[in-house]
Amino acid sequence: MRVKICGITKPEQAAAITAKGANTLGFICVESSPRYVTPHQLGAIIEQLPPQVDKIGVFVNAATTEITTLVAQTGLTGVQLHGEESPDFCLQLKEALPDIELIKALRVKSAEFLEEATPYFSSVNTLLLDAYHPQLFGGTGTTLDWESLALFSPPIPWLLAGGLKPDNLIYALSQLSPQGIDLSSGVERAPGDKDLDKVSQLFQQLQIWKANQP
Percentages helix, strand, coil for the chain, rounded to the nearest 5? Answer: 35, 20, 40
Catalytic position from the list 88, 130, 193, 195: 130
Q: State yes or no: is 29 an active-site residue.
A: no
Catalytic position from the list 6, 29, 54, 90: 6
Cα angle 53, 58, 61 (rounded to 5 degrees) comes to: 155
Separation of alpha carbons 60 and 75, rounded Å: 19
Q: State yes or no: is 130 an active-site residue.
A: yes
For residue 204, give the nearest of 14, 51, 20 by alpha carbon. Answer: 20
Separation of alpha carbons 100 and 79, rounded Å: 7
| 165 contacts: CB under 8 Å, gap ≥ 6 | 183, 186, 187, 198, 202
* Cα 14 off chain centre by: 15
Task: Report the DSSP beta bridge partners of residue 79.
Answer: 57, 102
Catalytic positions, please? Answer: 6, 130
